[in-house]
Amino acid sequence: MKLLNDIGQFSEWEKVLVNSIDKIIVILAICSVPATIASLSRMSLSGFQISMGSHVAITISLVTAALIRHKLPIKFKLNLVLVITALVSLVGVMDWGLLGNGVLWSILSIIFVTLYYGIKAGAICALAFFIYVSIIGYFYINGVIQPQVDPNSYVVSVSGWMTGIIGALLPLSVTIVIIGTLYEAARDSLIKLERQRVEITILAERDDLTGIYNARVFHKMLQQAIERSKRHDSWVYLINIDLDNFKSINDNYGHHAGDAILCYIAKQLLNVTRGEDTLCRVGGDEFLMLIESPERHEPQELEAVIERIKTAIEIPYIYEKTKLSVRGSIGFAEYNAKATPHLKNKDDILKEADKAMFRNKEVSRTQEIS
């Protein structure tokens, strides 16, 4: 009862089983009617056989189960299908030997056992069936069991072929349902897992408000840039951007306005960030940009970058018909493993960019006062 006992813990798996078992019961019920008619039509050749009686009983049980399937507990339905397929195969092999579809049904029955009770149970069942068929085969070969019909006339009879075809189609269609349902369930689960993985990655790497990278990822990327610099003698530029007097936006227009401005600034900064550069919000109103270059940038080049950033930030944002303008203080640190030996690690680089930004803020403040 391994898998059946586990079902309660896996509601998704339970849904798959319920879905597949209901489809299987309906298919079996629909197909069992012509199959039983075909089976009974063989009475003219063989007289009444146990298998025919069991076919009638099975059809009645299946049609009833299909009609009230939504009211039946899943365990009952699983076991019903299992018992029926096992019964059809066991009686079929005994009554009809090689002329019937018993062996085909046994495969279906073993698939069910494996699916619901695990591989070990399936293997035991397969072994038991193998022994059973061998014994029945032995009895047939030695005349202990006589064929119910004349094999020569049976293999050219309409009823023989009808039973053969319908009897074979049934386990085959049920197998398709089982494999199809499991395939769809596995595919859906994989898609769901992949989506969750992407969501988790986004949650872990992105800033909740602006959607750009968060400090955690940025620190990792800065560390990798330092390693590359050590290896390839490249240059790393860390630009620190801190909005000026941002508190007043929150105080005067509310937190919503502040949030909207932060998202706007992130967008503006992304517009001036090249694809290979990295932008992040480290918290509050502070942003960091990481630029890597194989060669050292000329001071004018860096000034141009900083000017572009300043201009992008200063373009006013319209919040509820009000023009809101913010400015930013910007400082940067440049790192090269050989050329800047005073910068030992990423914290030193971060501190240097921070200090430069504060110097710039002081200059702006002094200019505002005077």
Ligand X SMILES: Nc1nc2c(ncn2[C@@H]2O[C@H](COP(=O)(O)OP(=O)(O)OP(=O)(O)O)[C@@H](O)[C@H]2O)c(=O)[nH]1
Binding residues for ligand X, rule: CB under 6 A, are: 209, 242-247, 250, 255, 258-259, 262, 284-285
Scored b (16 or more CB within 10 A) or e, 123-138 reads eebbeebeebbeebee
* CB of residue 350 to ligand X, shortest distance in Å: 16
* CB of residue 210 to ligand X, shortest distance in Å: 9
Specify the residue for token string 């197998």: 175
- The pair of structure tokens assigned to 183 is 């395939």
Nearer to ligand X, 15 or 255 (CB): 255
- The pair of structure tokens assigned to 312 is 């992008």
Specify the residue for token string 């030997």: 97
Nearer to ligand X, 270 or 324 (CB): 324
Nearer to ligand X, 82 or 289 (CB): 289
Nearer to ligand X, 61 or 250 (CB): 250
* CB of residue 362 to ligand X, shortest distance in Å: 10
* CB of residue 265 to ligand X, shortest distance in Å: 11
What is the number of the residue whose Cβ is closest to ligand X?
258
- The pair of structure tokens assigned to 129 is 């069936």
Nearer to ligand X, 52 or 262 (CB): 262
Round to whole Å and give the CA distance between 265 and 87: 72
- C-alpha closest to that of 109 among 130, 135, 94, 95: 130
* CB of residue 366 to ligand X, shortest distance in Å: 13
Q: Is 158 exposed, middle or buried (0-12, 13-18, 19+ CB in 10 A)?
A: exposed
* CB of residue 245 to ligand X, shortest distance in Å: 5
* CB of residue 289 to ligand X, shortest distance in Å: 17
Contact predicate 89/51, CB 8 Å: no
Q: Which region holds residue 283: left if phi is over 0, alpha if psi is between -120 and 50, else beta?
A: left
| Residue 227 φ then ψ, to 5° | -60, -40
Nearer to ligand X, 301 or 368 (CB): 368
- C-alpha closest to that of 329 among 353, 300, 299: 353
Nearer to ligand X, 233 or 251 (CB): 251
